[in-house]
Amino acid sequence: MNEREATLDPTNQLVIIARLSEFCQFRGRTLNERDPWAYMRDKLLQIEAPLLALKSQLLASMKKHLLEDMRAGGMDDERFADYKMLFEHLVSRGDFADLAIHLSLAAGPGAVQWVADLLPQMKAANMFDVERLPAAERGSSWEKLVKELQGRLYLDVLEKVLARKPRTAKRKAYVLRKLRAIVAEYCTVMHIPITAEDTFTPFMLPRVEALVAANLRLLNKYR
């Protein structure tokens, strides 16, 4: 599907990249902010609107491609599986469950009309809304991904530092410096864009969302 992806408005992507880049600047002017902790948290919160807009653009493109392919015929289960993976990253659990049952050869020719009726109702899922829910109401797959990121970023180690009393400004500044460095390294290794020359893909978005969520949980807990 990559060769047919629509050209997306780059504005939202550039805003996300700018906020991530500012978050990762663990050396420089951010160290002189009056409240560096609030500054870092605010940079992540500013990602919500452009991230949702980017996902909405990608979803509109995927809706169009899916219907075109299904109406053209010749779909096989491997192709359906590709679409399932893409939609799972873009929509809510409920919407995905409703759609997924029609994305297989076993669904028969009537699946095209079912999908055509379902797609207009689907909206891009907002990760920030999920994070606002009580922990028990978040999906297990989402929690698993965030917890994986928490481990990859050594947030449990940083929490132990913050848990020591007293929680001084100096200790919090140390944690922020470490956090910025770790996140910057992770983005480089995972090829998550933090420069304008890079681009997002639907497969990358869950990692970006989990990265933001994992860091926000830490920053919210100890602010």
pTM for the structure as a whole: 0.86
Could you say which residues of the chain have pLDDT below 70?
1-8, 26-33, 194-199
Say if CB 119 and CB 96 are below 8 A apart. no
pLDDT given at position 196: 62
Q: Give the domain extent around 162.
A: 9-58+126-221
Q: Report pLDDT digits (tens) over 199-219.
A: 677 778 889 999 999 999 999
> Which residue, 121, 140, 157, sits at the end of a domain?
121
DSSP 120: G
51 and 146 in a single domain? The answer is: yes
* 41 and 220 Cβ atoms separated by less than 8 Å: yes
* Residue 2 belongs to some domain of the structure: no
Residue 184 shares a structural domain with residue 166: yes
Q: Do 107 and 208 reside in the same domain of the chain?
A: no
Q: Is the distance from CB of 155 to CB of 218 less than 8 angstroms? A: yes
Residue type at 188 in one-letter notation: T
Has residue 212 been placed in a domain? yes
Q: Residue-wise over 72-81: b if at least 16 C-beta within 10 A, else e?
A: eeebeeebbe
The predicted pLDDT at position 198 comes to: 66
Q: 24 and 89: one domain?
A: no
Give the whole-angstrom CA distance, residue 128 versus residue 170. Answer: 30
Task: Give the pLDDT confidence score for residue 194 in this predicted structure.
Answer: 66
Q: What phi-psi label fits residue 123: left (phi over 0), alpha (psi between -120 and 50 degrees) or beta?
A: beta
- 79 and 25 co-located in one domain: no
pLDDT at 3: 41
Within this chain, do residues 130 and 216 fall inside the same structural domain, yes or no? yes
- Token representation of residue 173: 């500044």
Count of the separate structural domains present in the chain:
2
